[in-house]
């Protein structure tokens, strides 16, 4: 059953090995009306998404925000794994770091990160997430609507479609 | 002492902490995040900072006592301390951490020991001041909420 997209809160998965920063990012996201799941490692993030096992969790994550410097799997490693996964590559990923290293920032952005935030993350940074989330949701709705139109009236002409399209 | 006087005392003390560089803009951000759903948010975050810092300072002391010093390990600890101090706005602690990391990179043991002493000192100062700040408040939750919502003059 498809829920009206505008009624559900966006679900953000936050990844950070430091407790203080996890607490902070969770509060920032909740203050911005997002539903939040916070985990302390890239491995746990992948487990939560259901990437590591065949027993797929029916969980919908709309955005992943991750710290860069983490033991084991870095935020960059996590980014790569997400983008290489057929099921999850379309989930926007945002990276946070306390170090301002231009080459690091560029590499993350080039390899698919939507944004790169310098810590400490502010509310103004979190506000930048909304367009990335809205874009996905709008695109999904447009695709769904087009698909529905095609099912309902397959013999309509192309011109008619253009009138119905969302600009 | 009445409520107005206590509020005044709180604001004045907090202002002095900003002026003396103990706290920066990030601390204001923390206060702005506190709300009715999370009335103890600032105290909780600051407590986490205290716990974290004490653990890291002990690790650092131990690491610098070793025969063969592991500078990577020390750098990792200082990086964490720098991160958590910056997350709560403990500006002076953060600044010493930056210098500390430079000495790690140079593998300069004297520099590192000096920084450890400095960071311990700055940490204990900010801890005392934050503890005082949180004592200048009424025991009732609602009042704490209103006090902490007060914007800087």
If residue A47 lies in a helix (H) or strand (E), which one and from where to where? Answer: helix A42-49
Query: Cβ of B29 and A120 within 8 Å?
Result: yes
A120 → closest Cβ in B48, B52, B86: B86
pLDDT at B138: 42
Closest CA to A45 of A84, A9, A74, A7: A74
- Residue A6 in this model has a pLDDT that exceeds 60: no
pLDDT at B153: 45
Distance CA B108, CA B104 (A): 6
Q: What is the DSSP letter of A27?
A: H
Closest CA to A74 of A110, A28, A108: A108
| Burial class of B133 by CB neighbour count within 10 A (0 to 12, 13 to 18, 19+) | buried
The proportion of chain B whose per-residue pLDDT surpasses 70, expressed as a percent, equals: 88
Closest CA to A36 of A55, A52, A58, A59: A59
Interface test with A, best of B47, B83, B85, B102 (most A CBs within 10 A): B83
Query: Which value does ipTM take for this structure?
Result: 0.83
Average pLDDT over residues A156-163: 48
Average pLDDT over residues B15-19: 92
Q: Cβ of A18 under 8 Å from any chain B Cβ?
A: yes
pLDDT at A160: 45
Whether the Cβ atoms of residue B120 and residue B92 lie closer than 8 Å to each other: no
Distance CA A66, CA A129 (A): 13
Q: Cβ of A133 under 8 Å from any chain B Cβ?
A: no
Cα A57–Cα A62–Cα A64 angle in degrees, nearest 5: 90
On the question of a cis peptide bond just before residue A120, with omega within 30 degrees of 0, the verdict is yes
A6 CB-near residues (< 8 Å, 6+ apart): none
Interface test with B, best of A120, A123, A125, A127 (most B CBs within 10 A): A120
Residues A66-116 pLDDT 10s: 999 999 999 999 999 999 999 899 999 999 999 999 999 999 999 999 999
Closest CA to B96 of B67, B59, B125, B69: B125
Alpha-carbon distances, residue B17 vs B10, B58, B59 (angstroms): 11, 26, 28
Average pLDDT over residues B44-68: 95
Can you say whether the dihedral through the CA atoms of A116, A108, B96, A27 is positive or negative? positive
First to last CA, chain B: 22
Query: Cβ of A31 and B33 within 8 Å?
Result: yes
Helix (H, G, I), strand (E, B) or coil at A13: strand
A27 → closest Cβ in B33, B82, B84: B33
Put simply, whether the predicted model's pTM sits higher than 0.90 gets the answer no
């Amino acid at each position: 059953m498809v829920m009206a997209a505008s009624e559900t809160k966006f679900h953000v998965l936050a990844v950070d090995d430091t407790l203080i920063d996890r607490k902070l990012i969770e509060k920032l996201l909740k203050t911005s009306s997002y539903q939040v799941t916070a985990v302390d490692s890239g491995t746990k993030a992948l487990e939560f998404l259901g990437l590591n096992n065949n027993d797929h969790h029916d969980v919908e994550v709309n955005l992943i925000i991750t710290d860069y410097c983490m033991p084991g799997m870095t935020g960059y490693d996590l980014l790569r794994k997400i983008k290489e996964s057929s099921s999850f590559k379309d989930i926007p990923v945002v990276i946070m770091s306390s170090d301002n290293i231009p080459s690091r920032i560029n590499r993350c952005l080039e390899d698919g990160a939507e944004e790169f935030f310098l810590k400490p993350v502010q509310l103004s940074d979190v506000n930048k997430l909304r367009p990335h989330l809205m874009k996905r949701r709008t695109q999904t709705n447009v695709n769904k609507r087009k698909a529905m139109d095609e099912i309902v009236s397959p013999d309509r002409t192309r011109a008619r479609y253009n009138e119905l399209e969302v600009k | 002492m009445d409520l107005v006087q206590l509020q005044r005392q709180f604001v004045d003390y907090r202002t002095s902490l900003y002026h003396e560089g103990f706290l920066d803009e990030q601390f204001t951000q923390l206060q702005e995040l506190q709300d009715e759903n999370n009335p103890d948010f600032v105290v909780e975050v600051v407590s986490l900072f205290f716990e974290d810092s004490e653990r890291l300072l002990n690790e650092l002391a131990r690491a610098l006592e070793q025969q063969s010093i592991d500078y990577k390990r020390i750098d990792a600890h200082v990086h964490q301390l720098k991160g958590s101090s910056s997350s709560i706005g403990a500006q002076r602690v953060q600044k010493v951490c930056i210098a500390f990391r430079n000495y790690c990179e140079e593998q300069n043991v004297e520099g590192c020991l000096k920084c450890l002493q400095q960071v311990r000192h700055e940490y204990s100062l900010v801890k005392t001041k934050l503890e005082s700040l949180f004592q200048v408040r009424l025991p009732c939750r609602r009042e704490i909420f209103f006090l902490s919502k007060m914007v800087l003059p």
